[in-house]
Structure 1
Amino acid sequence: MNNLSVRNQVNIPLNDSSVPGTFYSFSGLDAAQEHILIKLGPDSERSPLVRIHSECLTGDVFNSQRCDCGPQLSESINRMQEEGGYLIYLRQEGRGIGLYAKLDAYRLQDGGMDTFEANSHLNFPEDGRDFSMAAKMLKAVGVHHCSLITNNPDKVQALRDNGIAVDSIIPTGVFLTRHNGHYLQAKKDKKNHVIDLVK
């Protein structure tokens, strides 16, 4: 059962796009997690583009080179503004452990741990995110099919398990920097992300 309903929707002009983004808030979410869904670009076909994106302050806002979050977000927004789609922005910083703990994990990564080992060392799950909420948000705005922009098989499975048909999977670009190779390799090796890293 989908216990979410749209609380409000507000049009906000974004960049130079002629079509404003429509920001949706919801009733039925945990008050501490103000997840947001944003409809971007023109009305799309039966299977619109969808990107599930977990909050990353360091990458999304400050262009951190330690991850690929910011470039993935920008790429998805640009594509959806052209083709139409839905960005689901989940407030799950640091794979669900929060910003301060993520910075603690970064210190451990500086000592040689990968992103998953660092979270475990801090007594958190390797990846504590919950993507099921994304399916409920999509249903609340009437979306039941999508073309999902992701490299993460867990996001695909979460949507399918919660009643959203994923008609196609569209990989993101590979945004390799001299600072994030170990991070990307860990995602590929340990969580089966589809990332074509050049050896």
Structure 2
Amino acid sequence: MYQFISKANLPTVHGDFIIHAFENEHGQEHVLLSVGLPSTDPDKIPLIRIHSECLTGDAFGSLKCDCGPQLNTAMQMIQAHGCGAILYLRQEGRGIGLVNKIRAYALQDQGHDTLDANLMLGLPADARTYEMCEIMLKHVGITKAKLLTNNPNKLAYLQELGIDVVERVPLLVGVNQFNAEYLAIKGARMGHFIPSEVKISPKI
């Protein structure tokens, strides 16, 4: 059973959000950050981001992925838009967990790509699920949205839930020399909407 637990104000460096806490039947906790929801303006379509937890990128600023920049950019964009949400799902390492993610990192250090590293450990390329999204979106009254993503699976899943995704908004940020190959692999082998050649930020 998936259920809403509580909510509170959350001031951040990007602006003020409402943080909503949810829990599933296994006690796993997820949160949603919202701005301007439920919307009272039928013409204002919420901007949403489904973001899976990445301790190394979100908290430690790892350059091996683009997760931290994606999260921060999504928070900034939703604040600027004035109406939207981030669905922060606790499924580290594309669902394989933190320890297995570090094991996969070790294989990547040996020259294997992000997909092969998972498979060499006997793990799926992507073990994430999105069941929690339905109760989260219903909780804040979202039936129509603009989706911040490069992942076609997230787009398809929201459409299966009956959410009218009126626009996919690309989110290609934080590219650097440590993650350019990782992003290219996601485009070439995992079907993400990523150009075959990604442009590295001059800031890194």
Normalising by the residue count of structure 2, what TM-score does the alignment of the two structures yield?
A: 0.87
Gaps of 5+ in 2: 200-204
1:94 corresponds in structure 2 to 93
2:178 corresponds in structure 1 to 179
Task: After TM superposition, list the pairs within 5 Å mapping 1:6-155 onto structure 2.
Answer: 6-15=4-13, 17=15, 20-26=16-22, 29-40=24-35, 45-83=43-81, 84-155=83-154
SS of the residue 1:64 aligns to: coil
- Asked if structure 2 preserves the Cα contact closer than 8 Å seen for 1:135 and 1:163, the reply is no
Question: CA 1:58–1:142 in 2, change beyond 3 Å: closer, same or farther?
Answer: same
SS of the residue 1:52 aligns to: strand
Q: State the identity %.
A: 43
More off after superposition, 147-156 vs 35-44 = 35-44
More off after superposition, 30-39 vs 80-89 = 30-39
- CA RMSD in angstroms comes to 1.9
- Report the CA distance between 1:115 and its aligned residue: 1.1
- Report the CA distance between 1:114 and its aligned residue: 1.3
- Report the CA distance between 1:71 and its aligned residue: 0.6
- Asked if structure 2 preserves the Cα contact closer than 8 Å seen for 1:40 and 1:77, the reply is no
- The residue identity in structure 2 corresponding to 1:39 is S
The total of aligned residue pairs comes to 194
C-alpha separation in 2, matches of 1:49 and 1:127: 24
SS of the residue 2:49 aligns to: strand
Question: CA 1:100–1:16 in 2, change beyond 3 Å: closer, same or farther?
Answer: closer
- Asked if structure 1 preserves the Cα contact closer than 8 Å seen for 2:69 and 2:173, the reply is no
Question: CA 1:64–1:16 in 2, change beyond 3 Å: closer, same or farther?
Answer: closer
- Report the CA distance between 1:117 and its aligned residue: 1.1
- Report the CA distance between 1:158 and its aligned residue: 0.9
SS of the residue 1:13 aligns to: strand
SS of the residue 1:24 aligns to: strand
Gaps of 5+ in 1: none
- Report the CA distance between 1:165 and its aligned residue: 1.5
- Report the CA distance between 1:142 and its aligned residue: 1.4
1:188 corresponds in structure 2 to 187
- Report the CA distance between 1:173 and its aligned residue: 2.6
- Asked if structure 2 preserves the Cα contact closer than 8 Å seen for 1:135 and 1:164, the reply is no
C-alpha separation in 1, matches of 2:11 and 2:20: 14
C-alpha separation in 2, matches of 1:41 and 1:164: 18
- Report the CA distance between 1:46 and its aligned residue: 4.4
Normalising by the residue count of structure 1, what TM-score does the alignment of the two structures yield?
A: 0.89
- The residue identity in structure 2 corresponding to 1:86 is A
- Asked if structure 1 preserves the Cα contact closer than 8 Å seen for 2:48 and 2:145, the reply is yes
- Asked if structure 1 preserves the Cα contact closer than 8 Å seen for 2:14 and 2:75, the reply is no
Question: CA 1:131–1:153 in 2, change beyond 3 Å: closer, same or farther?
Answer: same
- Report the CA distance between 1:136 and its aligned residue: 2.9
| Dislocated runs of 4+, deviation >6 Å | none
Question: CA 1:163–1:178 in 2, change beyond 3 Å: closer, same or farther?
Answer: same
C-alpha separation in 1, matches of 2:6 and 2:51: 21
